[in-house]
Every structure is written in C-alpha cells, then in structure tokens.
Structure 1
Amino acid sequence: MSERDSGSSGRAKAASRAKASGQASFGAFVRKPVERTDGESKEAQAKVANAASEAAEMRVETAASWPADAVEVGAIVDAYGLKGWVKVAAHADTGQGGDALLSAKRWWLLKGQERSSAPSLQAKTHSDSVVARLGGIADRDVALALRGSRVYVSRSEFPVLEADEFYWVDLIGLDVVNLAGLNLGKVASMIDNGAQSVLRIEYPAIDKSGKPVAGERLIPFVGVFVKTVDQTAKQIVVDWDADY
C-alpha cells in the first residue's frame, strides 16, 4: 500500500469512529443554507457569466502587468480563415521549444508600443506555422489587425523537458568554462545551423588598435564538446581550448 493510500484509509477510519461516537470529525463543516430570492440567484448567475466572458476576452496590458518571465516565441503574420484565427511564425519548431505556443493558456502580444493579451482557446500546427483561436477575436478583420504582433509566452507555461534537454532561453547568460577551469565567456545567443544548436559566446577582448571589443566563440551544443550544464550554478563546462 502506498503512503497516499495509507493516509486516505486512515482518514476514512477516523471519520467512521467519529460517527460512531456521535461526535463530528475536525474535517466536518456545515453551513446553514440561506434561501435566495429568484432575483439574487439570477444576479449571481449573471456575475459568473460576466466573469467567464471577461476571462475569455482580449485585454489591454501595460509594462507593469507584463509577466517578468515573458519569452518571445513567434510573431503573428496573417489571419487564418474567416472566424478570427491567426497564423503565427514560430521562432522554434515543435519539439524544439515551439510547443510553448501550443500549450500556453495565455498569449501576450506586443505591437509597437501597444501591449495586450488573450487566452489561447485552441492552437495547432499547420504546415510550417502555428494557427490559433484567441479569446475575443471573432472575425478575420480583427485577426488581420494583429499582424506584426510579437507573441510572448510566460516561461512558467513552457512544457517540461527531459533531464538532458534545455530551452535556449535558459542557456543565454550562462558562464562557459573549459575543463582546465578557464572562463571562455558568456552565452550571448544561440544559433541553429540546421544540424545542431550552437552556443554563441562573447568574451572581452582587445582589437589591433588596443580598443576593448567583444570577442566571439562558436561551440556546437553537442555531447562531444558540452560536458555539463548546471543551471543552478549558471555554468556550462565544455571541452574546448581558448585558442580554438
């Protein structure tokens, strides 16, 4: 028997003993029912309906209401169909981070200086893009007005990965050191060369005129070179010489 099963069984037995002794268990709770008039009942139902409607609508956002962990994952490039669906060019394919567009419950949209958000009611892959039905968008004209909007998803809504998989956004900013303990710089961005992901590392350097510049190293993100990724320590250990 599992610990959870054992605990459930124990609570059930305790409740039985309480009933036998005529005493209420500590978990018992009862509230005297209050009669409601038809008007009060309808008013309560209307409030619930209005709350549900507001939750399903697009809303205006500000920099203050924008999630701190928002990550840009794509851009709306067109309307899709006649019923308000939008077409999105994702920054990553499904299976490589693009899944966040499919699983997120809310999309955060930025167009110029205008911020908004909408619940994602339905999203699916279509050819080489993602199409979605967002709350509050019921026709093609409204969907077309969103063209050019950059789409963000809260990092907390990204699907969980396997132990040896990493989202690019989580690698950017990590220190990179080699097996000899030499710091090679920080991950500035990631590159997809078609065969694998590549770490683009920047480090302080001096140009020929003696001016400080940002040097660059490119290290393929493959097991032969990348030995460990420690997100807690914010460090990646690689088998890579400084003069490569």
Structure 2
Amino acid sequence: MPARDPQNGHDSGSISQPKPGQEETAATFGAFVRKPGARRVAAGVSGTSGASGAQTPSQSAGGIEPVERRLPDDAVEVGFIADAYGLKGWVKVTPHAHGKSGGDALLTAKRWWLVKRGDCKAVTSLQSKVHSDSIVARLSGCDDRDAALALKGHTVHVARSDFPKLDDEDEFYWVDLIGLDVENEAGVALGRVADMIDNGAHSILRVAYPATGKDGKAFTGERLIPFVGVYVKTVDRAAKRIVVDWDADY
C-alpha cells in the first residue's frame, strides 16, 4: 500500500487524491490496522492452500460477465490489473494493500468485479497467489495473454463480506474506520475520518472537519492523528465513533 509522511498542523485544506489506478468514486481499499497495544498477530488467510496462498476452485467456472447493474453495496476497491502475467491468461494485480494487510481479500474472494471507465464486469477468480509485491490470478473466461491484456487498467472490487476475518477483535480494516466520527475524551467533536495514511511505522487517521479561514471563507481542514495507543482510546464501530486523546487546538 502507498505510504506518505504525515505533516504537522491541522489547517490544511488539501484533499487526498485517488491512488494510482483507483476509481475516483471507489470505496477505500481494505488495509487493516491493529488497535494500539493489541498483540501483533497477522490476519490469517482462509480458503487458501499452500504457502503461496493459491486457491482451488470450489465451483464450476463461468466466463467474464458484463454487469449492467451497479456494484454490490459493500464492494470495496482493492487493487487494479496492471498487466498480463505469462501466456495462459493470468493477470497481474497491484493491490492497494499488500497481503496480510488487506490484500488477502484478493486471495480469498472468489467473485471479483472489474471496472474501467464505467464498464463493469463480474468474474470468478479460479486461482490467486502472492507474487513479489503483487498478486497474480487466473480468472474464468480469461484463457490467453491477449484476453489478460484486454483487462489491463481495470480496477478490482470485492465484497466486504468476502474479506478474511481478522484474528483479533482489536484489528480493524481501514475501510471500516473511514467515515467514523472522531471526538476527544472531553466530548469535543474533531471531525470525521476521511482517509487513512500509512507512514511505514503505523497508520494515521486523516480527520476532516469544516473550518473557516481568516478571510471568512469556509474550507475543509484536517487533523492527522497517529493510530497509536497514546492517542487512540476507543474504537466503537457500532456507535460509529472513535475517542482520542487529542486537543482541538493541536
């Protein structure tokens, strides 16, 4: 997954841009973070066999199906097809989050939706495995290199319900944190999680809030709050709220 360094201050009006290959309207990809202080256990991969994470098909393969209706309500964009892989129709997928941090969804989900410029296709993933920093997959109806190349540039979406179950209740997928309201321990509203950032050491909440500049014009400000135990105290998904030890003036 992409990493960028956090910036100090909270009066920035910048808006995050879609990640390379990402649809502008797509739900955020499915990396996960651990609640501060939780034991460091990697999320497991279910439905895979062998060290490579290769899947074996459990149902008869169909072809690539054009989809006229919208994506499932819980569809999450998890990567994009960057290239063909080999000569037998495999595709190379660049995940928005590496395996064990949300990219596992590409290994476990059997149903993928491929989107490019409003064109949507549904396809069955017959086999997938980690290959270096990418994931390679064999898809139903994609039997040669030309067919694989025709899928280049499509974003890959899977249902949130097909994400692997995390090992611990103190682990969270990024997609489940985005949109939650953030307040401090004094009950002061700080904004809403608009995005997540990975700085290599830990995840950071990018909290957006309405603000007014010195010129009286409204803009969207942001607060960058490290997702570490000294700051994040409670994550309550049911209440759609995160409580932090963070002053509104920081």
TM-score, length of structure 2 as denominator length? 0.75
Deviation at 1:58, TM superposition (A): 1.3
1:116 counterpart residue number: 121
Give the letter for the 1:81 counterpart.
Answer: G
Distance 1:215 1:120, change over 3 A: same
1:203-218 aligned within 5 A: 203-218=209-224
CA deviation string 1:206-244 (max 9, x = no partner): 011101111110001111111110000000000111111
Give the letter for the 2:115 counterpart.
Answer: L
Higher relative contact order (CA 8 A, sep 6+): 2
1:232 has 2:242 as partner: no
The structure with the largest helix share of the pair is 1
1:79 has 2:78 as partner: no
1:26-175 aligned within 5 A: 55-64=61-70, 66-161=71-166, 162-175=168-181
Q: Distance in 1 between matches of 2:80 and 2:139?
A: 14
Structure 1 residue ranges without an equivalent (≥5):
1-51
Q: Distance in 2 between matches of 1:69 and 1:168?
A: 14
1:185 counterpart residue number: 191
CA deviation string 1:59-114 (max 9, x = no partner): 111234x2111000000000001100000000001111110010001110001121
Q: Distance in 2 between matches of 1:133 and 1:120?
A: 6
1:219 counterpart residue number: 225
Give the letter for the 1:148 counterpart.
Answer: G
Q: Distance in 2 between matches of 1:223 and 1:157?
A: 29
Q: Distance in 1 between matches of 2:198 and 2:68?
A: 33
Q: Distance in 2 between matches of 1:124 and 1:190?
A: 26
The one of 182, 201, 220 aligned to 1:176: 182
Structure 2 residue ranges without an equivalent (≥5):
1-58
Identity, in percent, stands at 65
Q: Distance in 1 between matches of 2:229 and 2:172?
A: 13
Which structure's CA Rg is the greater one?
A: 1
Q: Distance in 1 between matches of 2:240 and 2:92?
A: 36
CA deviation string 1:184-217 (max 9, x = no partner): 0000011111111110001111011101111110
1:195 has 2:201 as partner: yes
Q: CA RMSD in A?
A: 1.1
1:22 counterpart residue number: none
